[in-house]
Structure 1
Amino acid sequence: MNERLRGQYLVIVSILFALILNFPLLSLFNKPILWMGIPLLYWYLFTCWLGLVGLMYWYWTRQNHE
């Protein structure tokens, strides 16, 4: 994959996660709900972070096999 597409992919992923971790969505998960003893907001943040890491890992391994 050329440098231009790689840059576009990284910009799209950055914008996606900036939107996911922005105020309107964060306020939806900022509730006094505990799941397994952990607040819902922490679960949301951890899941988003894990999704970003997984997406980047998938992209990196796909890049190395082409």
Structure 2
Amino acid sequence: MSITPQHRPRRVQERLVALIILALLLFCPPLLLVIDALPAAGLSWLPLYIFIAWATLIGLTAWLMEDGSKH
């Protein structure tokens, strides 16, 4: 039995909104410019930052969307 968005608990919806806000903050251009300007031995931190931030968002989304029931 799947849960439709209308039946989703309010806390889950609030957490999804918080996750969207976190994603917007992690990928805002000023923060990306700061990450890109970090000194490194000829390398840019930007690709690593984007990969880690994206993977974190995917993991948090998967954890949040689990309904907890065993099939």
TM-score (normalizing by structure 1): 0.72
Aligned residue among 15, 32, 47 for 2:21: 15
Runs of 4+ in 1 over 3 A off after TM superposition: none
More helix by share: 1
Q: Which structure is richer in relative contact order (CA contacts within 8 A, separation 6 or more)?
A: 2
Q: What is the RMSD of the two structures over their aligned residues, measured on CA atoms?
A: 2.3
Asked if 1:49 is matched to 2:59, the reply is no
Residue ranges of structure 1 left out of the alignment (5+ in a row): none
**Which of structures 1 and 2 has the bigger CA Rg?**
2
Secondary structure in 1 aligned to 2:11?
helix
Residue ranges of structure 2 left out of the alignment (5+ in a row): 1-7
TM-score (normalizing by structure 2): 0.68
Aligned pair count reads 61
| Seq. identity, % | 32
